[in-house]
Structure 1
Amino acid sequence: MNAAARKIQRIYLTLTLGNTLAASFIWGINTLFLLDAGLSNLEAFAANAFFTAGMVLFEVPTGVIADGWGRRTSFLLGTVTLAASTYLYYLLWQLSAPFWAWAVVSVLLGLGFTFFSGAVEAWLVDALHFTAYEGDLETVLGRGQMVAGIAMLVGSAAGGVIAQVTDLGVPFLLRVGVLMAMFGVAFLLMRDVGFTPERSSHPLEATRAVLTASIDSGLKNPPVRYIMLAAPFSAGVGIYVFYALQPFLLELFGDPRAYSVAGLAAAIVAGAQVVGGWLAPTLRRLVRKRTTVLVATSGMGGLILVGLGFTRLFWVALLLLTLWALVMAAATPVRQAYLNDMISSKQRATVLSFDSLMGSSGGIVVQPLMGRAADVYGYPLSLAFSGVIELFAVPFLLASRRRRSPADTATAATETPL
C-alpha cells in the first residue's frame, strides 16, 4: 500500500472508531431503556421501526447531499443531527413521554444515521482508487470492521456497566459528547478525494435524479438488484435480533437489572465483528465466488437463530449468539466489496444509500412484527421466527450468483500489512 492510500485508510479507521464508539454506548441497553420509560415490547420495537422508517425516508435526500455537496459535508451533518436527536431521546426518558414523541424522535435518529450510510464507504473507495490502491477491498473493509468491532466492544460493554452503576440515561449523554468530538476530528482530517460533488440549485430535481440513478444503477442491474432484494430479510432480522437479545439474555440470566449482562450481548457481537473482519480476506481466498460466502453465511445464520430460539440455558445461548455473530460478521466485508465492484464512482454513495434503504425497509416490518411475537409467544420463539425470515434471503442471493457478474470472482493483488 502506498503512502497516500495508507493515509486515507488511517483517516477512515479513525472515523470508524470514533463514530462506532459513540453509537455503541447505548446499543447494549437501548431496549431496556425504552422498556424502563414505560413502553411495552410492541411499542419499544415499534419505536425502533420508526427509526428504520426514518432511514428509509431520508436515505435518498441525504444521498443528494453526499453526492451533490460532498461526503465530508454529509458526515459532519450526521454527527450534529445524531447528537441532537440522542439528547432528545434522553429528555423523553426523563419525562416518561408518550409513544408518539418517541416515534418522532426515532425518525430523527434515523435521519442522523442516513448521513453516514453510503457516504463514508463511498468516500473510502473513491479515495483509494484515486491514490492507486492495488489491494482488494475486502482487506480494507475488513480492517474497518475490526476497528468498528473493537469500538463496539468497548462502547457497549462500558455502556452496560455505566448504566448499572449510574442509570440508563448516562450512556446516551456519553454518545452526545463523543459525537461532538468526532465533528471536530472529521472537520480537520476528512477531505473529498477522487470525487467532485455535482451541486444542484434545485433540490427536488436533484432528489429525483438521485432516485433515478439509484434505480438504474441498482434495481435495474440484475446482480445488484438481487443483493438488494435480499437485504430486507437479512438486515431486518439483524436489527431485531440485536436488540431482542438484551431482554432475552436477562430472562435466561434471571436478574432483570443486570444491565452489564445486556451489554454482554452487544460485546459478543462486537468481538465477532473483529474476528469476522480479520477472517473475511482469508475466507474470500478460500472460495472462488463471493456469493458462495453470502449464501452459506445467510443459511447458517438463519439456522443458528432457529436453534437459539429453542435453548433455555444461558451459556448455550451465549455460544449460539457468538456463532451467529461470527457468521454474519465474516460475510459483511465480502458483501460490501461485491456491491462496490458492481457500481460506478459517480453513483456510489447513492446506490450504497439505496441499498441501506432496502435493508431498513425490512426493519420497519420485522421489528414490530417480531416485537408483537415476543409479547404473545416470548422472546425465544420470536428469535426462531426471525431465523426463518433470514432464510428467505437465500433465493435472492442465489439469483445474483446466477447472473455471473465479474465482481463475483474479482481478485486483486495481495495487500501489504498496515
Structure 2
Amino acid sequence: MNDAARAIQRVYLTLTLGNTIAASFIWGINTLFLLDAGLSNLEAFAANAFFTAGMVLFEVPTGVVADGWGRRTSFLLGTMTLAGSTYLYYVLWQISAPFWMWAVVSVLLGLGFTFFSGAVEAWLVDALRYSGYEGGLETVLGRGQMAQGIAMLVGSVAGGVIAQATDLGVPFLLRVLVLVAMFAVAFRLMHDVGFSPDRSARPVEATRAVLSASLENGLKNRPVRYVMLAAPFTAGVGIYVFYALQPFLLELFGDPKAYSVAGLAAAIVAGSQILGGWLAPHLRGLFHKRTSVLILTGVIGGAILLALGFTRLFWVALVLLALWAVMGSAALPVRQAYVNDMIPSKQRATVLSFDSLMGSSGGVVVQPLLGRSADLYGYPASLAIAGVIELLAVPFLLASRRQAPVADGATTPTTTPTSGQDGPETTG
C-alpha cells in the first residue's frame, strides 16, 4: 500500500471509529431504554421497524445527495441529523411519550443513518483506486470492521456501565456530543478524492436518474440482484437479534436491572467484529469464490440462532452469541468487496444505498414479526424463528454464484465486465 492509500485508509478508520463509538453508546441498552419508557415488546421492536422504514424511505434521496453533492456533504449531514434525532429520543423518554412520537423520531433516526450508508464506503473505494491501491478490498474493509469492533467494545461497555451508574438516558446524550465532534473531524479530514459530484441536475430529475441507475446496476445486474435479495433476510434478522439479546440475556442472568450485562452482550458482539474483521481476508484466501464464504457463514449463522433458541444457560448463550457475531462479521467485508467489484464508480454510493434499502426493508417486516413472537412465545422461540429466516438467504446467494461473475473469484479490484446481466455490462 502506497502513502496516498495509507492516508485514505487512516481517514476511513478514523471516521469509522468515531461514528461507531458514538452509535454504540446506546446499542447495549436501547431495547431496555424503550421498555423503560413504557413500550411493550411489540411497540419497542415496531419503533425499531419505523427506524428501518425511515432508511427505506430515504435511501434513494440521500443517495442523490452522496452522488450529486458529494460523499463528504452526505457524511456531514448525517452527523447533524443523527445528533438531533438522538436528542429527541432522550426527550421522548423523559416525558414518557406515546408510541406515535417514537415512530416519528425513529424515522428521523433512519434518515440520519441513510446519509452514511453507501457514502463512506463509496468514498473509500473510489479514493483508494484513485490513489493507485491495487490490493484486495477485503483487507481494508476488514480493518474497518475491526475498527468498528473496537469502537463498539468501548462504547457499548461504557454505555451499559454509565447507564447503571446514572440512568438509561445519559448514553444518548453522550452519543449526541460525540457526533458533534465527528462533524468537526470530518469537515477537516474528509474530502472527495477520485470522484467529482454532478450537481447539474434538478433534485427530482437527479432522483429519477439515480433510481434508474440503481435499478440498472443493481437489480438488473443478476449477480448483484441475488445478493440484494438475500439482504432482507440477513439484515432484518441481524437487527432483531442484536437488540433482542439484551432482554434475553438479562432474563437468563436473572437480574432485569443488570444493565452492564446488556452492555457485556454488545461488547461480545464487538469483540467478535474485531476477530471477524481480521478473519475476513484469511477466510477469503481459503476459498476460490467469495460466494463460498457468504454461503458457509450464512448456514452456520442460521444454525447457531436455532441452537440459541433452545439454550437456557447464560454462559452457553454468550458463547453462541460470539460465534454468530464472528460469522456475520467475517462475511461482511467479503460481501462488500464482492458487490463493489460489480458496480461502476459514478453510481457507487447510490447502488450501495439501494443495497442498504433492501436490507432495511427486511427489517421493517422481520422486527415486528419477531417482536410479536417474543410477546407470544418468549425470546428463545423468536431467536429460533430468526435462525430459520436467516437460512432463507442462502438460496439467493447460490443463485448469485450460478451467474459466475468475474468478481466472485477476484482477489484484487476487477476492471472487467461482470457476466450474467440483463442490461448493459458494468465495470467495477
**TM-score band, normalised by shorter chain:** over 0.9
Give, as a single letter, the amino acid of the residue that structure 2 aligns with 1:391: L
**Deviation digits for residues 44-93 of structure 1 (CA, Å, limit 9, x no counterpart):** 00000000000000000000000000000000000000000000000000
Matched, 1:145 2:150: no
CA RMSD of aligned residues (A): 0.7
**Deviation digits for residues 345-388 of structure 1 (CA, Å, limit 9, x no counterpart):** 00100000000000000000000000000000000000000000
* Structure 1 counterpart of 2:27: 27
Q: Equivalents in 2 of 1:202, 1:95: separation in Å?
A: 41
Superposition map of 1:2-151 within 5 A:
2-151=2-151
* Structure 2 counterpart of 1:207: 207
Superposition map of 1:338-357 within 5 A:
338-357=338-357
* Structure 1 counterpart of 2:280: 280
**Deviation digits for residues 233-277 of structure 1 (CA, Å, limit 9, x no counterpart):** 000000000000000000000000000001111111110100000
* Structure 1 counterpart of 2:180: 180
Give, as a single letter, the amino acid of the residue that structure 2 aligns with 1:96: S
**Deviation digits for residues 377-411 of structure 1 (CA, Å, limit 9, x no counterpart):** 00000000000000000000000000000000001
* Structure 2 counterpart of 1:416: none
SS in 2 for 1:239: helix
* Structure 2 counterpart of 1:362: 362
Q: Equivalents in 2 of 1:319, 1:267: separation in Å?
A: 13
Aligned length: 413
Shift of 1:149: 0.4
Q: Equivalents in 1 of 2:173, 2:403: separation in Å?
A: 48
Give, as a single letter, the amino acid of the residue that structure 2 aligns with 1:393: A
Shift of 1:209: 0.8
Q: Which consecutive unaligned segments of at least 5 residues does structure 2 have?
A: 414-428
SS in 1 for 2:28: coil
**Deviation digits for residues 162-186 of structure 1 (CA, Å, limit 9, x no counterpart):** 0000000000000000000000000
Q: Equivalents in 2 of 1:265, 1:384: separation in Å?
A: 18
Give, as a single letter, the amino acid of the residue that structure 2 aligns with 1:172: F
Superposition map of 1:228-307 within 5 A:
228-307=228-307
Q: Equivalents in 2 of 1:208, 1:237: separation in Å?
A: 31
Matched, 1:335 2:335: yes
Shift of 1:412: 3.0
Matched, 1:222 2:258: no
Q: Equivalents in 1 of 2:276, 2:257: separation in Å?
A: 31
Give, as a single letter, the amino acid of the residue that structure 1 aligns with 2:198: E
Q: Equivalents in 1 of 2:357, 2:18: separation in Å?
A: 24
Q: Equivalents in 1 of 2:407, 2:318: separation in Å?
A: 36
Shift of 1:201: 4.5
**Deviation digits for residues 253-302 of structure 1 (CA, Å, limit 9, x no counterpart):** 00000000011111111101000000111111111000000000001100
Give, as a single letter, the amino acid of the residue that structure 2 aligns with 1:360: S
Give, as a single letter, the amino acid of the residue that structure 2 aligns with 1:120: V
Superposition map of 1:339-418 within 5 A:
339-412=339-412
SS in 1 for 2:167: coil
Give, as a single letter, the amino acid of the residue that structure 2 aligns with 1:116: F
* Structure 1 counterpart of 2:424: none
Give, as a single letter, the amino acid of the residue that structure 1 aligns with 2:252: L
TM-score of the superposition, structure 1-length normalised?
0.98
SS in 1 for 2:38: coil
SS in 2 for 1:271: helix
Give, as a single letter, the amino acid of the residue that structure 2 aligns with 1:37: A
Give, as a single letter, the amino acid of the residue that structure 1 aligns with 2:202: H
Give, as a single letter, the amino acid of the residue that structure 1 aligns with 2:67: D
Percent identity, please.
Answer: 81
Give, as a single letter, the amino acid of the residue that structure 1 aligns with 2:151: A
Large movers: runs of 4+ above 2 Å: none
**Range moving further from structure 2, 222-231 or 261-270:** 261-270
Shift of 1:338: 0.3
Q: Equivalents in 1 of 2:289, 2:253: separation in Å?
A: 41
Q: Equivalents in 1 of 2:201, 2:81: separation in Å?
A: 23
**Deviation digits for residues 202-221 of structure 1 (CA, Å, limit 9, x no counterpart):** 21111111111000000000
Give, as a single letter, the amino acid of the residue that structure 2 aligns with 1:408: D
SS in 2 for 1:194: coil
Give, as a single letter, the amino acid of the residue that structure 2 aligns with 1:72: R
Q: Equivalents in 2 of 1:17, 1:374: separation in Å?
A: 33
Shift of 1:200: 3.5
Give, as a single letter, the amino acid of the residue that structure 2 aligns with 1:19: N
**Deviation digits for residues 133-168 of structure 1 (CA, Å, limit 9, x no counterpart):** 011100000000000100000000100000000000
